[in-house]
Amino acid sequence: MANFHVIIPAAGSGSRMAADLPKQYLPLAGRPMIAWTLEPFLSCERISSVHIALSPDDSHWQAHAPHHPKLSILHCGGLSRAETVLNVLKGLHVEQSDWVLVHDAARPGLTPQLLNYLLDELQDDAVGGLLATPVADTLKRADAKNRVASTEPREGLWQAQTPQMFRYGILKEALIQAGEPPTDEAQAIEALGFSPKLVIGQLRNFKVTYPQDLALAEAMIAAYHQEARK
Ligand code: C5P
C-alpha cells in the first residue's frame, strides 16, 4: 500500500505580514504558528514522515518549533515555493507511487478530521487533488485605480487550499518540467494534462497572510480546542 509523506514549504519571506519574525514562528494561542500547522500530521498514524523546508539562513527553528521522530528539518528553501518543494522531493527516497501532501506553513487551521477526509477521498484516485472551497462572494475585476471594471461570473470557481496531494513520481516530474514557477502543485500537475480532484475544504483552513488574520486564526484554534475538551 502507498505511504503518505508530508512536505511543509516554510522558506517564504512572509512580507505581507510585516513582522520581525518569519510568520510561521509568530505566537498563536500560546504556541508558534508552525506547531499548530504540524500537529495534525504528527498525530495522524496514517502519515509516515513529515519534512519541513526552511530557508538556508533560517536561525529561528530551534527556538520555536517542536521535535518529533517523524519530523525532518531541511534548510533547502529555493527562490519559489515550487523550487522549495522540488528540493525536498529530490532528497526523498520513497516509492514513485507513494503519496506526497504539500501544506502551507501558514495554514494552522487544518483539523485531523479534514486531513483524514482528504486522505479518504484521494487515496484511491488516479491523479490526486487538493482541498478547495467554492467561491462564495461576488467577484469584481479592478482597473488600475481600484475602481470596478466589471463583475465576473463565479460559477465553477474554487479557491485552492492545501494540503495538495499527488503521487511522488508524478509530482516530481511535474515540478521538474514546470517553466514559470507554478503558484501551487496542482498547477504543475495540470500542465502535464491531468485534472486534480477538488475536495471540499473549510474556511478555518485559511492561509494566515495579513497581521489582522492572526486574531481570527487564534479565535478559531481556541474554539476548536474548547470544543474538543468537552
Ligand atoms: O507566499 P505564499 O504565502 O504563497 O507561500 C506559501 C508557502 O510557500 C509558505 O508556507 C511559504 O513559506 C512557502 N514558500 C517557500 N519558499 C519560497 C516561497 C514560499 O517555501 N521561496
Amino acid at 86: L
pLDDT tens per residue, range 99-119: 999 999 999 999 999 999 999
Nearest residue (CA) to ligand 1, atom 19: 12
Cis ω for the linkage preceding 163 (within 30 of 0)? yes
Closest CA to 162 of 43, 29, 6, 25: 6
pLDDT at 229: 72
Which structural domains are found in the chain, ordered by start? 4-228 (3.90.550.10)
Compute the mean pLDDT over every residue in the chain, rounded to the nearest whole number: 94
CA of 104 to the centre of ligand 1 (A): 7
104: Cβ below 6 Å to ligand 1? yes
Q: What is the mean pLDDT of residues 27-35?
A: 93
11: Cβ below 6 Å to ligand 1? yes
pLDDT tens per residue, range 48-97: 999 999 999 998 887 777 789 999 999 999 999 999 999 999 999 999 99
pLDDT tens per residue, range 128-170: 999 999 999 999 999 999 999 999 999 999 999 999 999 999 9
CB-based contacts of 136, cutoff 8 Å, min separation 6:
none
pLDDT at 67: 86
76: Cβ below 6 Å to ligand 1? no
pLDDT at 228: 75
The whole-model pTM stands at 0.96
Please tell me the distance from the alpha carbon of residue 200 to that of residue 67, in angstroms, as a whole number.
31
H or E stretch covering 86: helix 81-91
User: Across 64-217, where does the E strand assignment appear?
Assistant: 71-74, 99-102, 128-134, 139-142, 148-152, 158-167, 197-200
